[in-house]
Structure 1
Amino acid sequence: MKFTKKISAALLASVALATLAAPVLAADIAVIAGSANDAFFNRIKKGVDDATLVIEANGGSVNYLTTQNYDNFGPDLVQLINTAVSQGVDGIAIPVWIAESQVPALKAAAEQGIKIMMYNSGADVKDDISGINYFGSDEFVAGEAGGKYLAEQGAKKILCHIHVPGAVNLETRCDGVVAGAEAAGAEVVRLPTPASIDSDVTGTSEALKAELLKDPSIDGIITLGAWSADAAAVAIQQSGRPVKLGNFDLSPSVLDRIKGGTQNMVIDQQPYAQSFLAATMLAAYIDFGIDLPTDPILTGPGIVDATNIDAALAGVEAGAR
């Protein structure tokens, strides 16, 4: 995978903040994230934990706020925003997943002087909420790369599984998969499953298997999370026929399958970098007036497959990828 020099420079600049003299302001910030039951946010949490060391070294604080689940996602995110505001934070680092719910609440926060830094999702609404910068992947471009990859590997009809229907980042990923696959001559069908079975490997596996049995022309699956790739792998095995598999976001099981030849690829957006950079640069903006001229700062996509699998394994084992 190729990593941008700009991201490396930003990381070094953020870590260097810990060696600076005490600031006039000590930033107290909130970082808002998805469900703690979602394994993706383990990497987000590690990035926040490491950023906290930098921020606390300068006299600030970090409050990490997560939703319970995704059943009432939009309103729950608004409640977290309101909680952060009520705590008197100086800044909020947050993805925008449900724009119609989050944008009004974030606008109100910004009007009170709270600084907003974005990561992971919602770059297109950054100006609407007076966001400072965005750290993350371009979801459409990432999906496009995944759809193109599977089509070029021979898939003719690809199932794109959406585990939280309506979440803008997931819907945009699937839009990209459609564009990339169709440009390479393949067809894409979408399968949204209820948010109530998010992270339910067994329930999701049954839903995916039902689609494979109903439509034998499906020869590729791309899931939008690592846990759902586990569900897809089970569904493919139980269907009894070869189906190419790809997904977004790394995990040990995903990489084990790539290493073993039972999964084709995974799209990495580097969530650790997203949250670490968003938190440290939000604090740097508040404390020191530091802003980066590059906007947005992309942390992906990068495709991991059999050609570079070994280079990705150490980072996953350390909990950072």
Structure 2
Amino acid sequence: MKRNRSKLVLYISIITILVLSLFLSAGISNAQDKKLTFYYVDHGTPGNPFWAVYYKGIEDAIQWLAQFGVEVKHLSAEADVKKQIDMLKMAVAAKPDGLVTSIIDPKTFDPILRPAIEAGMALMAANVEDPRPPEERIPYLAYYGEDTWKSGVELGAALIKYIKETNGFQPKHVLLCNPMAGHYVWEARLQMLGETLEKEYGTKQDKVVVGEDPTKAMEIIRAFLVKNPDVDVICAPTHFTHANVGLVKELGREAGKDIYLCCFDMMPETLQDIKDGKVVCTHDQQQYLQGFLPLIDLYLYKAKYNVHPYGIVSTGPIIIDRYNVDTVIEGAKAGYR
């Protein structure tokens, strides 16, 4: 993990130097033959705390690139695959110089994106990669995001470490809450977390699709807990995890004592819950970077330099727990975490 983090720091440092050099050189924009147009099409939901940080990354990149005449059109599909397909078709039809998107449905996206790439459009994947073998996957230049299969393992390891350090109880039943049925990243995260706990403690695991709507999600979680009072670990998206602190209290339990809560991603309230001992840990994929870096790299690539990273630009996972939460809180206040 330290090696991956050092690679990320090195990469960001290099990008920062390149960007500053380019932005301070007026000659580069003059060297462009035409105005560049990029599209950023994601599956995000405006108003969601996670996506607010993600969109800040996109907005900051847009502001930086505007001074060089680069136009960026940002579209959000609000967790609707069909809507994202339509947006991608519209974006490709506009024949942009570059496109960034989350590959949440590789087989359906492939016939839309591959012909555009062959025609000269540069593609970056962000947040969700194409999980197929290299010879089959959509030929994007790079993927920006977490190491998906590693995330669940490391979150599970952090929970196990906490249990050992605090001489806590060994969990018997974990509830894994999935906000998006069939979503590659969520399926992988929860699967690996469940398997990690099962391997260590023999923990029973149940995965439940709770959806994106907060009210409906909490109703589903409540119903499951009432029916299964032996659940002693809940893993859910960050915004549901904060709500779970209050929910388990209503059901006569105390988060952090007789039931463990952990989550993927973060928001200020969840960080405070970790600080208060209500939530054990969460994982950070640094979504600001996923919004910001792909657009900067598209510019570097299309401005006649062909500079671009290769493979996975890993932005996580970074585990947040009681040891490092104070530092992360400062980053969250600034809007970058």
TM-score norm. by structure 1 comes to 0.90
- 5+ residue gaps, structure 1: none
SS in 2 for 1:190: strand
Counterpart CA distance in 2 for 1:189 and 1:204 is 18
Task: State the identity as a percent.
Answer: 25
Counterpart CA distance in 2 for 1:293 and 1:180 is 32
How far apart are residue 294 of structure 1 and its match? 4.7
Structure 1 83/296 Cα, relative in aligned 2: closer, same or farther at 3 Å? same
| Alignment-mate amino acid for residue 113 of structure 1 | G
- 5+ residue gaps, structure 2: 164-169
1:92 maps onto 2:96 in alignment = no
How far apart are residue 90 of structure 1 and its match? 0.8
8 Å CA contact 2:141–2:309 kept in 1: the answer is: no
1:24 maps onto 2:32 in alignment = yes
Kindly provide the CA deviation profile for residues 154-198 of structure 1, in whole angstroms up to 9, marking residues without a partner as x: 433221110111111111111221232233224252333353xx1
| Alignment-mate amino acid for residue 213 of structure 2 | S
SS in 2 for 1:169: helix
| Alignment-mate amino acid for residue 9 of structure 1 | S
Structure 1 254/37 Cα, relative in aligned 2: closer, same or farther at 3 Å? same
Per the alignment, residue 129 of structure 1 pairs with 138
Moved more, 87-96 or 117-126: 117-126
Structure 1 199/284 Cα, relative in aligned 2: closer, same or farther at 3 Å? farther
Kindly provide the CA deviation profile for residues 61-102 of structure 1, in whole angstroms up to 9, marking residues without a partner as x: 1111111x33xx221111111121233311111111122322
1:74-153 to 2 correspondences below 5 Å: 74-125=81-132, 128-152=137-161, 153=163
From 241, 247, 266, the equivalent of 1:235 is 247
8 Å CA contact 1:204–1:231 kept in 2: the answer is: no
Kindly provide the CA deviation profile for residues 86-138 of structure 1, in whole angstroms up to 9, marking residues without a partner as x: 33311111111122322222223223321110111114347622100011101
Counterpart CA distance in 2 for 1:13 and 1:192 is 45
1:53 maps onto 2:66 in alignment = no
SS in 1 for 2:315: strand
Kindly provide the CA deviation profile for residues 271-315 of structure 1, in whole angstroms up to 9, marking residues without a partner as x: 001111111111211113343455211010011111111100111
8 Å CA contact 2:178–2:207 kept in 1: the answer is: yes
| Alignment-mate amino acid for residue 45 of structure 2 | S
Counterpart CA distance in 1 for 2:10 and 2:225 is 42
Counterpart CA distance in 2 for 1:190 and 1:147 is 15
SS in 2 for 1:129: coil
Per the alignment, residue 249 of structure 1 pairs with 265
SS in 2 for 1:296: strand
Counterpart CA distance in 2 for 1:149 and 1:37 is 29
How far apart are residue 199 of structure 1 and its match? 3.4
From 210, 229, 232, the equivalent of 2:223 is 210
8 Å CA contact 1:161–1:221 kept in 2: the answer is: yes
SS in 2 for 1:136: strand
8 Å CA contact 1:266–1:305 kept in 2: the answer is: yes
SS in 1 for 2:141: strand
8 Å CA contact 2:176–2:190 kept in 1: the answer is: yes
SS in 2 for 1:263: coil
Moved more, 155-164 or 176-185: 176-185
1:251-270 to 2 correspondences below 5 Å: 251-270=267-286
RMSD over equivalenced CA pairs, Å: 2.1
From 48, 65, 75, the equivalent of 1:65 is 75
SS in 1 for 2:278: coil
| Alignment-mate amino acid for residue 245 of structure 1 | L
After TM superposition, where is structure 1 displaced by more than 6 Å over at least 4 residues in a row?
none
| Alignment-mate amino acid for residue 248 of structure 2 | I
Greater radius of gyration (CA): 2
Counterpart CA distance in 2 for 1:292 and 1:171 is 29
Counterpart CA distance in 2 for 1:52 and 1:211 is 43
| Alignment-mate amino acid for residue 214 of structure 1 | K
How many residue pairs get matched? 314
8 Å CA contact 1:250–1:316 kept in 2: the answer is: no
Counterpart CA distance in 2 for 1:8 and 1:146 is 24
Counterpart CA distance in 1 for 2:18 and 2:242 is 35
8 Å CA contact 2:210–2:216 kept in 1: the answer is: no
Counterpart CA distance in 2 for 1:295 and 1:118 is 10
Counterpart CA distance in 2 for 1:79 and 1:285 is 26
Counterpart CA distance in 2 for 1:183 and 1:199 is 32
From 136, 157, 166, the equivalent of 2:182 is 166
